[in-house]
Amino acid sequence: MSLGEGSRDRPPRGTPPAGADDAAADRRTALRATAHPVRLQIMSLLTGAPLTAAEVARELALTHANASYHLRTLLAAGMIVPAGEERIRGGIAKRYRYDTAHDLEAQRARGRTAADRAIYPALANELIRRSAQAHFPAGGTNLMADAEVWVDPELWRDIRDRIAQAARDLHDAAQPPRTPGTVRTSTTVAMFEMAPIDPDQPA
User: Could you give the maximum distance between any two Cα atoms of the chain, in Å?
Assistant: 69
Is the pLDDT reported for residue 122 higher than 70? yes
pLDDT at residue 11 in the model? 41
pLDDT at residue 10 in the model? 38
Is the pLDDT reported for residue 111 higher than 80? no
Average pLDDT, the chain: 83
pLDDT at residue 199 in the model? 76
Beta strands in 10-133 (DSSP E): 81-88, 91-97
pLDDT at residue 6 in the model? 42
User: Higher pLDDT residue, 171 or 21?
Assistant: 171
pLDDT at residue 116 in the model? 73
Expressed in percent and rounded to 5, the helix, strand and coil fractions of the chain are 50, 10, 45
Q: Roughly how many angstroms between the first and final C-alpha of the chain, as a whole number?
A: 32
Report the pLDDT averaged over residues 178-200: 91
Is the pLDDT reported for residue 25 higher than 70? no
Which stretch of 34-43, 135-144, 158-167 has the lowest confidence by average pLDDT?
34-43
Q: Give me the percent of the chain exceeding a pLDDT of 70.
A: 78
Is the pLDDT reported for residue 14 higher than 60? no
Q: Label residue 23 by pLDDT band (50, 70, 90).
A: low
Report the pLDDT averaged over residues 54-80: 94
Q: Give me the percent of the chain exceeding a pLDDT of 90.
A: 57
HEC letters along 129-187? HHHCCCCCCCCCCCCCCCCCCCCCHHHHHHHHHHHHHHHHHHHHHCCCCCCCCCCCCCC
- Over residues 162-177, the pLDDT tens digits come to 999 999 999 999 999 9
Report the pLDDT averaged over residues 121-144: 92
Is the pLDDT reported for residue 59 higher than 60? yes
Phi-psi category of residue 72: left, alpha or beta, with phi > 0 → left and psi -120 to 50 → alpha:
alpha
